[in-house]
Amino acid sequence: MDFLEALARPPLVLGVDPRPGLHGKEPIPHLRRYSLEVLEALAPRLAAVKFQLAFFEALGPEGMALLLELASGARVMGLPVLFDGKRGDIGSTAEAYAEAYLLRFPGSALTLNPYLGLDALEPFFRAAQRSGGAVFVLAKTSNPGAGFLQDLEVGRRPLYLHLAEVLAEEGRRYLEGPWSRVGLVVGATYPEAVQRVREAAPHAPLLLPGVGAQGGKPLKGPGLLNASARALFYPRGRPDLEGALEAAEALLAALVE
């Protein structure tokens, strides 16, 4: 599997951010069963599944084992996997992160934090190239305080746009057909930023988190991957398979004719 196949699938990404408190007295087995059911039911309606590593790490060793099981399960279902770790470190450590999430899971994608600079991102780009994967670099995040650094002016445009331009140029070396393996993250809560980044980086897949619980609306357009976690995985504030299907259908109705 190549992660870029996600771009030819329905433009919806299911975020899996497990809340053990919603899964009863024995959360891990319940969560395992529910996650597999949701993945199986929603897979044909999804571009990819995004596992937020923090929530699995918070569950301890059993949580990490569950993450690996769910990631393997998604791959068996033919569903592209995105690891949301927002990694970023000096080159030699970046190599290790890239090994852990891109090379050990060929065809997967990983979210990245660009604060350390291009030399710290390149090991991830090369690993994505080797493994048929992709990366999504944070440009404009969905949170209310995103502008603190990301909107600072650099050469008469906001920093996030400068980053998008630089990565669009870098990303040309990692093109596979119309799309680059170097994607960007732009919060669905900032639709005008999505538009500006799309213009600055026409070949970058764009991951748009914040749909649903954070108030973002799904956005339609080439290479736009709308991501929703709570509103899809816990549609009425709790595990609910029927509700998850309905929520996915409703979001897709707004995205696909």
Tell me which residues touch ligand OMP (CB under 6 A): 15, 17, 52, 84, 111, 141-142, 185, 187, 209-210, 212-214, 227-231
For the CB of residue 56, give the shortest distance to ligand OMP in the complex, in Å: 11
Q: Please tell me the distance from the alpha carbon of residue 14 to that of residue 225, in angstroms, as a whole number.
A: 10
Q: Please tell me the distance from the alpha carbon of residue 164 to that of residue 135, in angstroms, as a whole number.
A: 13
For the CB of residue 145, give the shortest distance to ligand OMP in the complex, in Å: 11
86 is a catalytic site residue: yes
Angle (nearest 5°) at CA 214 between 86 and 194? 65
For ligand OMP, which is the closer residue by CB, 19 or 157?
19
For the CB of residue 247, give the shortest distance to ligand OMP in the complex, in Å: 11
For ligand OMP, which is the closer residue by CB, 156 or 254?
254
State the residue for tokens 């030399």: 119
CB atoms within 10 A of CB 49: 27
For ligand OMP, which is the closer residue by CB, 158 or 187?
187
Element at 136 (helix H, strand E): strand 134-140
CB atoms within 10 A of CB 187: 26
Choosing from 50, 86, 140, 220, which is the catalytic residue? 86
- Active-site residues: which are they? 86
